[in-house]
Structure 1
């Protein structure tokens, strides 16, 4: 008997698929000048009064901006003020063209298929309009069964001007589409409205019926002993035709069945777990009908739910505790924005996978893909499936400055009905996607977060449940009744803090910390603090003038992050700062301290608070200041390491209300850990010359509240440290914080310490850093050369006189060879140290 299983499919080798991606041509058009020039009908133009059309090379899938950059017609918008000179791109229509010949064998039907166009287009074949495309993520399919296989055919796609959506400051109620608004200008990026033929184009043939999609709907029994996998297929053609389905188990075993709705029964299924909770075995489903291309989906067997904890139940709140396979978990992680405003750039999937790796290495277990941007890409979701990083996916609907009311107009609802199903289909088979949400920061007219009774949210929920229904759904985040975390609400109405957002801005040595200290929220799904990017990133991209001053007197500093200027705040805390290097280091130190404090305060309340997500992991455009913890060049800021420290399986929360106090300060060090344990906790307080002011040692077990320790505050700032050791002396966790008296510019002395000296040398994969001077070296910063992705075991730490630290380094060098990699160490009061790192 002939084996009915088809071979794995690729666009380059399938007998049913022919890729039309690759090299195209592109030109611009003001309004419908393309029609006047007959660009949709003719491949050549005669010499005459009108200039002939200038075509440039284009790539499909791709982006118009990327094609223009490669053709030298616009300067890369990442640099200086150049994005201002690229805003015209979205004010044009764009014409893509190519010729092709059908290379597929004859079949009953032939279709021209588009994976998605951003945002809408008309499609012409041999001068005749086939139809229209619309929706950033919505595929299109045109019947071209009569095409002659012996001749070349002209294919033209005319992109319309993108819809006129608002940037961050507008009216959500007037939103007309599900095109992501992040490119219309947001606080983390410039205005760069994306346009392009950004998904695959192909020819597909079949014998009369085709499988358009296949969804493995998994039902897992409570005891995890069995799972049912219903194969839900969407057919075009004979809807009653039996479908053949093959299931490939994680261990390679195969089974096959057929039917109108095939079903597989799994005994003792291999369960998919989040990272650090278990393995991530993946099953593969392939479904096909005779004479058509199979559809392949990878999935995992797991059950995701949101449940109430005691605090949520007592407040009558929504459930916020995520449960996977019946196991509750404390969620910690990051909000994620697009990895690049130009989706078609080379290397975007690699950037996305690198960010997933950074998040996982920082002990994150969930990423929230905020409704500001597009849904997570297949590259991201495949990587999250593989490594066990969970995903909270919001629909691309978001807040605005004037109102946040979900749109209810007929045009929007029609676009919702057309475009939302494709978004759900794109994510529903991924086991990493454990939570769906209608959108970001949606409220009523009174700024109260919406609930499921809002008609637009209810419609979104109906569509999601019809197409999926296997994972929990939230109406929005924050989900109220209070929108923001504020000191007043935390003090007066803590019961109203359910799922809250904010704060985001650095506001000095007290107000940056106090809301987090008082916080009683059940879920803290967005909060942040800003800092400047790495100095190397600033010098690479801020090319339209001098870097200094880093405030609103500098046009390009304003252009690259006008919401996040903080020079004045830094000087309130550290005194006058007059050079870029010191300024960058101080902003990054401040950001790291605030985020670590916020994460620790939330995690210390894990019986009450179910999740804490930092805003934000990354940025899609090189900012001078931003709330990201990894800058555009994939260089982690010092805050990245403080987040990793606070989220580690074993961490120390210092339990300070703020880093300043009146004469004395009370710390309450607490061990925060995923599993119970015991050890020795050493708490010390040292001056900038290394003199010991306090040395407290105790045996601790956890989980348990911390023990208050009174800290004297001398005239100058001093270093509070806590180290946790196991019974055999191994360091389990560290934390340190500079503290000072609550006076104007409390850390000015620290920012003006006398010079010290640093020495560093490599030992295997470790870097030994030593302070050989007489003064403390605060916030020692390590950075590998530009273009090298780096992960250090620690960064941004202090060394007192005579101390040393061994830092492990893992470097990723594109096109790595035997050439050593340059590395630089710096501190506030030490000359930079450079060395060559070998064996990278």
Structure 2
């Protein structure tokens, strides 16, 4: 029943007065006939209105303000259909989810109600006349009046995701629509509603049992046939009789193929197929693995909960990103492709975990399938979140009733996916004193009971942060570091002071921290269309509208001096975002025996922002910080141990290698002026893991480039590289970089590589390589510096969003070089996006 429907708006219940639910045609009269527009199901009302030209796309300029009326209407979906199914004893009209709820009419008669955003509903329509055309009408009410980012969590009444009610990463676009599938399903008396392969892996990992359960509706007892399809295609079959939902049969796996996170092994997937007589079969993919949270020595000593994730007995250091909603309008075309691109970007940045927090909807099927196949872990919180005024979980009867009705569907949506390794009650939930909740909180306790009943195979966290401190603060880090368990923050760029908190952090889990930046200049030009782009501060209404919490022009000028050029401004914001996030990630990773989790806020944004904490802008373009996070998370990374990129006169380095396996190599450290003059050069042998040895450098009067390169023991293979612009601590310490003389860049394709050369007499800081809209891109480095006469060879992977090879024009720029265009032709044998190291 998916595909083309029709849609009309209704102020309150005008649809009832006008008979929109009972009649397909309306005569000419005093009352205007309804104006039906084409609609898509599954889809979104906003997307249908954009396609019909009735609202401007809310992504552009200030247009979202003119679309807020959409959530003040009720919406009427309709379509006609004829039965095309073979005659069957029973027939059901099935809705996978309607946002938010609704009423269903068939041939003018009320058929039933739809539940909340996530909950499937089956309405029996047995006996429909096969020889007539039927009119199906679905009325969606106004969305519930929930709070945006600032409000009271205690007054929340539903599990509808609140991201669209206004959050710092998006506009107010309260979603409404038949956003999940609609179908007619026939059966012979018993319907197979759901199946679940519940896997128990033996402690020695050498055997597993797969308990297969089926949820049936209809006849009391029927044979259920289960086929277990192994990753190699081999099939085992069992038939059993069961009633209701419960254990029906089991398969023994004497030598199971284990599912592993991407960095630890392969991701073989089994398939369970179940069927009952007279109904369509169902399939679920699953992996054989076990997960647990365990203590490290420090979490045990502090009396904290365990934060170290263990997969198949292997402890992991969790590094990755918080995932925001993919789009505020989930009915847009190409959403599954966009979601798969985000998973690919995360894997290419060496992430092993995405936290899908309670601000947005749970991970989609496309995201879950991509993570199952790619080995990227998911920490999924239920759609419940903080609100600023209070963050107290709701106890009101309406919410508790919705919880009982709607939470089971979310658990069933998630439980077969091996990538989902952690479940949580919500984001940033606290008591009245802003102390993070514990498992004893009544609403969270009930959520945990429901999850345990329907799953029980994954660790559960009531919320994040989990306290006893909520924020990473300097006072606590210095005086009470034992109270830093799972903490959030900071998120704002504060000039050269941005590094201090991360340098003293002692948290066991740092599950949200960030730094803002502008997106690509091309992205700004594409979406900020309501006037001039400059100035990029609170004097510009559309800049405020597209990210009012993240303005940073004043901070950029504190560090770089006056900046009045948009291109320069964009590169500087992206440069500092990358520097701060790399510093935070490396400081956490260097404490790996103490810190178990390090997650950047945020990977993506669901709406185009002028400033935002995302690493990937709305057009799926990585900011320069993406490369710095990729560098810090790489299997072998260099940490210079800087407290900050500025110092009074002497800069103290503590170089060390952060790697997943022990090794030896040669470390070369250099310090150069912007003219390329060498101020320091040293090569030393290095063994890792080992405690770092301090080194003191005297800083020149002007900013200098500090670079470190790690080579293999033979000195022939580059294992890791890092570079930092450093300067003396003073007002506007890096002003000289923003005022450098112009230089010239050249670029050319050499097979699957892009060669970039600085032919000028001064350094080119933060060289940025960019592909246009429509191309997903990955370069082996980006945002790097080129000294005079230097060349950098970059590995390149370019694709369309749908995954095809891409060819076209690349742009290379720097803060002091005019953009250079180069035509990129598809390289024969080029690596795919995920494959780039």
With the length of structure 1 as denominator, give the TM-score of the two structures. 0.97
Tell me the SS of whatever aligns to 1:564: coil
Which of residues 166, 184, 197 is equivalent to 2:165? 184
Corresponding residue number in structure 2 for 1:536: 522
Tell me the SS of whatever aligns to 1:625: coil
Note the 1:123-202 alignment, pairs <5 A. Answer: 123-202=104-183
State the Cα deviation string for residues 525-558 of structure 1 (Å, max 9, x = none). 1100000010000000000000000000000000
| 2: CA distance, partners of 1:407 / 1:816 | 43
Residues 1:651 and 2:637 are matched in the alignment: yes
Corresponding residue number in structure 2 for 1:315: 302
Note the 1:199-598 alignment, pairs <5 A. Answer: 199-259=180-240, 260=242, 261-509=248-496, 511-598=497-584
| 2: CA distance, partners of 1:642 / 1:144 | 57
Corresponding residue number in structure 1 for 2:86: 105
Q: Kindly indicate whether the alpha-carbon contact (under 8 Å) linking 2:118 and 2:410 is maintained by their aligned counterparts in 1.
A: yes
| 2: CA distance, partners of 1:236 / 1:450 | 38
Q: Kindly indicate whether the alpha-carbon contact (under 8 Å) linking 2:798 and 2:806 is maintained by their aligned counterparts in 1.
A: no
Corresponding residue number in structure 1 for 2:692: 706
Q: Kindly indicate whether the alpha-carbon contact (under 8 Å) linking 1:244 and 1:262 is maintained by their aligned counterparts in 2.
A: no
Q: 1:134 offset after TM fit, Å?
A: 2.1
State the Cα deviation string for residues 670-726 of structure 1 (Å, max 9, x = none). 100111111111111111111111112211111122211101111101011111000
The worse-fitting range, judged by mean Cα deviation, of 24-33 and 102-111 is 102-111
Corresponding residue number in structure 2 for 1:15: none
| 1: CA distance, partners of 2:142 / 2:130 | 34
| 1: CA distance, partners of 2:701 / 2:549 | 35
Residues 1:806 and 2:787 are matched in the alignment: no
Residues 1:614 and 2:632 are matched in the alignment: no
| 2: CA distance, partners of 1:110 / 1:139 | 16
Q: 1:814 offset after TM fit, Å?
A: 6.0
Q: 1:100 offset after TM fit, Å?
A: 0.6
Which of residues 705, 716, 725 is equivalent to 2:702? 716
Corresponding residue number in structure 1 for 2:97: 116
| 2: CA distance, partners of 1:670 / 1:348 | 42
Which of residues 656, 661, 670 is equivalent to 2:647? 661
State the Cα deviation string for residues 80-125 of structure 1 (Å, max 9, x = none). 0000000000000000000111111111211000010000110000
| 1: CA distance, partners of 2:592 / 2:544 | 39
| 2: CA distance, partners of 1:568 / 1:457 | 42
The worse-fitting range, judged by mean Cα deviation, of 298-307 and 679-688 is 679-688
Residues 1:637 and 2:618 are matched in the alignment: no
Structure 1 runs (4+) greater than 2 angstroms displaced: 238-242, 813-820
Q: Kindly indicate whether the alpha-carbon contact (under 8 Å) linking 1:176 and 1:411 is maintained by their aligned counterparts in 2.
A: yes
| 2: CA distance, partners of 1:213 / 1:273 | 26
Q: Kindly indicate whether the alpha-carbon contact (under 8 Å) linking 2:775 and 2:806 is maintained by their aligned counterparts in 1.
A: no
| 1: CA distance, partners of 2:274 / 2:807 | 50
Shift in alpha-carbon separation, 1:177–1:814, aligned structure 2, 3 A: closer
| 2: CA distance, partners of 1:29 / 1:815 | 37
Tell me the SS of whatever aligns to 2:526: helix
Q: Kindly indicate whether the alpha-carbon contact (under 8 Å) linking 2:799 and 2:806 is maintained by their aligned counterparts in 1.
A: no
The worse-fitting range, judged by mean Cα deviation, of 366-375 and 690-699 is 690-699
| 1: CA distance, partners of 2:509 / 2:434 | 19
RMSD between superposed Cα atoms in Å? 1.1
Q: Kindly indicate whether the alpha-carbon contact (under 8 Å) linking 2:338 and 2:801 is maintained by their aligned counterparts in 1.
A: no
Corresponding residue number in structure 1 for 2:48: 67
Q: 1:832 offset after TM fit, Å?
A: 1.2
Q: Kindly indicate whether the alpha-carbon contact (under 8 Å) linking 1:726 and 1:732 is maintained by their aligned counterparts in 2.
A: yes
Tell me the SS of whatever aligns to 2:192: strand
Q: Kindly indicate whether the alpha-carbon contact (under 8 Å) linking 2:707 and 2:723 is maintained by their aligned counterparts in 1.
A: yes
Note the 1:789-804 alignment, pairs <5 A. Answer: 789-804=776-791
Shift in alpha-carbon separation, 1:90–1:701, aligned structure 2, 3 A: same
Q: 1:26 offset after TM fit, Å?
A: 0.3
Q: 1:817 offset after TM fit, Å?
A: 9.7
State the Cα deviation string for residues 365-403 of structure 1 (Å, max 9, x = none). 010001000000000000000010000000000001101
| 2: CA distance, partners of 1:573 / 1:814 | 37
| 1: CA distance, partners of 2:267 / 2:687 | 32
| 2: CA distance, partners of 1:142 / 1:422 | 17
Corresponding residue number in structure 2 for 1:742: 729
Q: 1:357 offset after TM fit, Å?
A: 0.3
Q: Kindly indicate whether the alpha-carbon contact (under 8 Å) linking 1:210 and 1:288 is maintained by their aligned counterparts in 2.
A: no
| 1: CA distance, partners of 2:803 / 2:262 | 29
Tell me the SS of whatever aligns to 1:562: coil
| 2: CA distance, partners of 1:231 / 1:717 | 64
Q: Kindly indicate whether the alpha-carbon contact (under 8 Å) linking 1:183 and 1:194 is maintained by their aligned counterparts in 2.
A: yes
Q: 1:819 offset after TM fit, Å?
A: 9.1
Q: Provide structure 1 residue ranges, at least 5 long, that are not aligned to the other structure.
A: 1-19
Q: Kindly indicate whether the alpha-carbon contact (under 8 Å) linking 1:112 and 1:142 is maintained by their aligned counterparts in 2.
A: yes
Shift in alpha-carbon separation, 1:825–1:181, aligned structure 2, 3 A: same
Q: 1:262 offset after TM fit, Å?
A: 1.3
Q: Kindly indicate whether the alpha-carbon contact (under 8 Å) linking 1:243 and 1:262 is maintained by their aligned counterparts in 2.
A: no
Which of residues 663, 676, 684 is equivalent to 2:662? 676
State the Cα deviation string for residues 460-501 of structure 1 (Å, max 9, x = none). 000000000001010100000000011111111100000000
| 2: CA distance, partners of 1:422 / 1:799 | 54
| 2: CA distance, partners of 1:309 / 1:184 | 39
Q: Kindly indicate whether the alpha-carbon contact (under 8 Å) linking 2:341 and 2:801 is maintained by their aligned counterparts in 1.
A: no
Q: 1:665 offset after TM fit, Å?
A: 1.2
Tell me the SS of whatever aligns to 2:325: coil
Q: 1:293 offset after TM fit, Å?
A: 1.3
| 1: CA distance, partners of 2:580 / 2:792 | 24
Residues 1:783 and 2:770 are matched in the alignment: yes
Q: Kindly indicate whether the alpha-carbon contact (under 8 Å) linking 2:324 and 2:604 is maintained by their aligned counterparts in 1.
A: yes
| 1: CA distance, partners of 2:406 / 2:437 | 22
Shift in alpha-carbon separation, 1:456–1:789, aligned structure 2, 3 A: same
Tell me the SS of whatever aligns to 1:391: strand
Q: Kindly indicate whether the alpha-carbon contact (under 8 Å) linking 1:664 and 1:710 is maintained by their aligned counterparts in 2.
A: yes
Q: 1:240 offset after TM fit, Å?
A: 3.2
Residues 1:39 and 2:20 are matched in the alignment: yes
State the Cα deviation string for residues 416-466 of structure 1 (Å, max 9, x = none). 000000000000000000000000000000000000000000000000000
Shift in alpha-carbon separation, 1:164–1:673, aligned structure 2, 3 A: same
Count of residues in Structure 1 that have an aligned counterpart in Structure 2: 820
Corresponding residue number in structure 2 for 1:773: 760
Tell me the SS of whatever aligns to 1:113: strand
| 2: CA distance, partners of 1:182 / 1:705 | 44
With the length of structure 2 as denominator, give the TM-score of the two structures. 0.97
